[in-house]
Amino acid sequence: MGTDTLNIPVELTSGAIAEVKKLLARPENADKYLRIGVKGGGCSGLSYVLEFDTAQEKDKFFEVDGVTCIINPSHEMYLHGMQVEFEGGLNSRGFTFNNPNASKTCGCGTSFAV
């Protein structure tokens, strides 16, 4: 299922990798991959997808520091070069996205336009 690729379209920082590995260790995420993608919606038009999922037929696989990720090839043009970070501080906690393809982003940081 899927097509392997050597191209790594999205970067995960060390903080994001550590958090993803913790979440992947949970029983409910066994046999799943980290899906990175987009969906329509949000205040700027597109929202980021970052979830644990099973692979679909057209998905591309890539690996970052032992984390196997999947991406729908049609989403790659919106996400190529994006960096995913995890913030674990008291004031801010969660995944953040730094997307060089975004022409505008919303205040919540999970919605963007191209």
pLDDT tens sequence across 81-114:
999 999 877 677 789 889 887 765 655 555 555 5
Q: What are phi and psi of 51, to 5 degrees?
A: -150, 165
What does the domain layout of the chain look like in residue ranges?
3-113
Please list the ranges in the chain whose pLDDT falls under 70. Answer: 1-6, 42-44, 90, 103-114
Residue 15, CA atoms < 13 Å, CB-side half-sphere: 12
HEC secondary structure over the chain: CCEECCCCCEEECHHHHHHHHHHHCCHHHCCCEEEEEEEECCCCCEEEEEEEECCCCCCEEEEECCEEEEECHHHHHHHCCEEEEEEECCCCEEEEEECCCCCEECCCCCEEEC
Task: Give residue 42's pLDDT.
Answer: 63
Task: Give residue 111's pLDDT.
Answer: 52
The residue with tokens 């260790």 is 25
Task: Give residue 114's pLDDT.
Answer: 58
CA distance 38 to 111: 9
Any idea which fold 3-113 has? Hypothetical Protein Aq_1857; Chain: A; (2.60.300)
pTM of the predicted structure, to 2 decimals: 0.82
